[in-house]
Amino acid sequence: MGILALLNHVVNFAAPALWLALLLPWLVRFLPGKKSSRFSLTTQFALIFLSGLVVLALGLALLGQDGKMMTYLGLVVTAATVQWFMRKGWPG
């Protein structure tokens, strides 16, 4: 496998986490309730993206194949939970 093919695989592997991390902080602004978050958009993007990459890597490691629906379900649930904690405030 050449370097371009490897780069293509890595980009396509991370794409779902990237798009979810880009869109979720912007779309959550349209929800009713508390409008401001203590976290900047950059911090929200970074936390959601990194947690999404961890979930995708765990799904690949545990299920043995990329692109399983259970992995994507875990990705969405994890991203929503991280966003909820950032919007509501960390416990404590």
**Using 50, 70 and 90 to split pLDDT, how confident is the model at 38?**
confident
Query: Are 28 and 83 in contact, with CB atoms under 8 Å apart?
Result: yes
Query: How confident is the model over 53-89, as pLDDT tens digits?
Result: 999 999 999 999 888 899 999 999 999 999 988 887 7
Yes or no: say if 30 and 88 are a contact pair by the CB < 8 Å rule: no
Average pLDDT, the chain: 90
- Whole-prediction pTM value? 0.87
Q: Which amino acid is at 21?
A: A
Joined together, the tokens standing for residue 91 give 């416990």
CA 3 from centre of chain? 25
Segment 35-52 mean pLDDT? 88
Residues of the chain with pLDDT > 90, as a percent, come to 65
